[in-house]
Amino acid sequence: MRTGLGILLLAFTGLACGKTSEDTPAGEVNGGGRSAGGQGAAEGGTAGSTGSAGGPLAGTGGVGALSGVELNGSPIYTRVQRLTNTQWESAVTDILRFSQRHALSAAFTPPLLGITTFDNNEQLLFVDERRFIDFESGAEAAAALATGSPEALAALDAGEDAPSFVRVFGRRAFRRPLTAAEETKYQSVFALGESLYGAGFAKGAALVVRAMLQSPHFLYRTELGATGEPLNSYELASKLSFWLLGTTPSDSLLDAVAAGELATSEQLVATARQLLEDARALNVMRDFHGQLLHVAGLQDISKTGEPEYDSAINPELTLASNAFFDLIFGKNLGLRELLTSTQAYVSPRLAPFYGVGAPKQPALIDVGPSRSGYFMQLPFLMLWSVGALPRPVQRGLQLELAMLCGPRRTPPPEVELLPSRPLVQGQTNRQLVTQETSCGASCHQYMDPLGFAFENFDGFGRQRELDNGQPVDTTGIYPLAEGVETFADGNELMKLLANSAQVHTCYSKHVTSYALGRDLVEGDRPGLESLAKVSRSKSLKELIIALVRDPMFRTRMGGQP
């Protein structure tokens, strides 16, 4: 339930985090709470089976090339997109000039998992009663920290009287200059604070901070223009900053907007290039790749009964993933290197599983030509395994979702999970999986061959040539949009993917969805195919710059004027 003071603040400001102001179309703030119906399937929970390269994809009765990247999302095209919990925390830290993060959002209601690929999707960013209370309590705690001492108040650097404080802090919080009516309104809030809590600048400032942090002008990033019209410079500055730095625009960026320095496409691109060199951009790209490739799941790995497993390896697998993503972004590399680089993060604990000598200090080193890219490194291989055995269906499914964006794999009714059964004498893991996934050919003929390409890596990610005394079989076939391709092993598969327009279009789809905070549809395909051409020959940073230039980023898309 809203507190009495919260209601009083609404009376002064006319705003609430779950309501729109008079210039915001009603019904769009909360995003409708619609579900995207995220992709995914359990091990063995989809139909079909395949053996080797001579399986059902080849010869008569097989299927041809797929249509490529599917774009069948359900975007809302909201004009007012709520900040994520992480963005809220970063924005509060920056506008209040905190010297450190205070984890004020730690107890906030988390986003629903498994509905969309990324947690900044508009479909997840609604406000209900619980979240309203989250933002109200967060605002109260933040205001208390920001005004609780002369030093904290001085760090705010927002003027020494009510009009200047409202004007300076208001622009910082709302990411644009306040209107004259807003200045008058919040000066009244300042006076109310002094009236309720006693005279003193800190009392008035505290109530203004609380009120502004609960306003939709802080909690939501806006795109209020007519469909097809360019976003204004303040909207672009916010969109760019929250995407590339994960936080609100700086005072200097807002100054640049006020000076007309973000008015052209070239000025926008120049600003984007500058932000890409900020250290915070590295963390944002970690988050992007981490959500795409389920890095958070590494902390939950458990291999009970396996004497070689030590739970202390889990955080090192997370470090290994982040170090590799940092390499790709920080060294101005791209998807091709993510798929084919032989560099990997190796620590003393990870070295034995890679079969290399332990370095004195954890470092990125060349682990040899037998491992191409992230999907042949320990984090991915250990995450999608059971004990010491690989889990080829999940390895294939996760690779397909992340890099191919093919049709959704929906498990048929009443299909059970693939059981963990012991191998009989002379039976390989691949043969067991092929035997057990016998519920039809519509799904496993796609996923399984991708996963079987990594059968030369066991559940610990170690290389192996034999499985239960038999030679491992890593051959496979996959119908890319360009045509049906065969491969001998994971290395060949990674080279095929690195050269595939479908894969680069898929990666561009993920980058764009993360940047725009929405699902993508067929109308976005021309833009994605253009971005894919950049991805095939250039770096992730250049892919980002290409998106900044694209109308998908710079104009108001969808919705009603």
For residue range 501-550, list pLDDT tens digits in order.
999 999 999 999 999 999 999 999 999 999 999 999 999 999 999 999 99
The pLDDT of residue 8 is above 90: no
Per-residue pLDDT averaged across 104-114, rounded?
Answer: 93
For residue range 132-150, list pLDDT tens digits in order.
999 999 999 999 999 999 9
Maximum pairwise Cα distance, the chain: 86
Helix axes 540-549, 313-330, angle to 10 degrees: 60
The pLDDT of residue 348 is above 70: yes
pLDDT of residue 420: 56
The pLDDT of residue 130 is above 80: yes
Per-residue pLDDT averaged across 401-424, rounded?
Answer: 66
pLDDT of residue 34: 30
Distances (CA, A) of 539 to 54, 292, 332, 423, 515: 36, 18, 6, 44, 16
Strand blocks (E) in 203-354:
220-222, 343-346
Average pLDDT for the chain: 87
**Which of 57-66, 132-141, 493-502 is predicted with the least confidence, judged by mean pLDDT?**
57-66
Q: What percent of the chain has pLDDT over 70?
A: 84
548's CB contacts (< 8 A; 6+ apart) are: 240, 268, 269, 272, 554
User: What region does 283 belong to: left with phi over 0, alpha with psi -120 to 50, or beta?
Assistant: alpha
Contact 212, 174 (CB under 8 A): yes
Nearest CA to 371 among 456, 289, 476, 295?
456
296's CB contacts (< 8 A; 6+ apart) are: 290
* CA distance linking residue 120 with residue 140, whole number of Å: 24
The pLDDT of residue 250 is above 60: yes
Question: How many CB atoms neighbour CB 300 within 10 A?
Answer: 8
Strand partners, 466: 471
The pLDDT of residue 412 is above 60: no
* CA distance linking residue 264 with residue 318, whole number of Å: 40
Contact 288, 544 (CB under 8 A): no
pLDDT of residue 551: 95
Which residue matches tokens 């010297």?
99
The pLDDT of residue 352 is above 90: yes
* CA distance linking residue 31 with residue 65, whole number of Å: 36
What dihedral do alpha carbons 350, 353, 359, 364 form, nearest 10°?
A: -70
* CA distance linking residue 216 with residue 193, whole number of Å: 21
The encoded tokens of residue 332 equal: 């101005």
SS3 343: strand
More confident call, 407 vs 328 = 328
Across 218-249, b (16+ Cβ under 10 Å) vs e yields: bbbbbbeeeeeeebbbbbbbbbbbbbbbbbbb
Per-residue pLDDT averaged across 355-363, rounded?
Answer: 93
pLDDT of residue 410: 61
* CA distance linking residue 471 with residue 449, whole number of Å: 16
Q: What is the DSSP string of 522-548?
A: GGGHHHHHHHHHHHHHS-HHHHHHHHH
Place 4 in a pLDDT band, splitting at 50, 70 and 90.
very low
More confident call, 61 vs 538 = 538
* CA distance linking residue 37 with residue 336, whole number of Å: 29
Distances (CA, A) of 267 to 65, 221, 400, 515: 42, 21, 37, 19
pLDDT of residue 443: 64
Half-sphere exposure (Cβ direction) of 72: Cα atoms closer than 13 Å: 11
The pLDDT of residue 121 is above 50: yes
Find the DSSP H helices in 175-227. 180-197, 201-213, 216-219
DSSP classification of residue 359:
P
For residue range 277-294, list pLDDT tens digits in order.
999 999 999 999 999 999
Per-residue pLDDT averaged across 209-213, rounded?
Answer: 98
Distances (CA, A) of 110 to 120, 248, 515: 12, 21, 20
Q: What is the DSSP string of 79-114?
A: SEEEPPHHHHHHHHHHHTT-SS---TTTTSPPPPSS
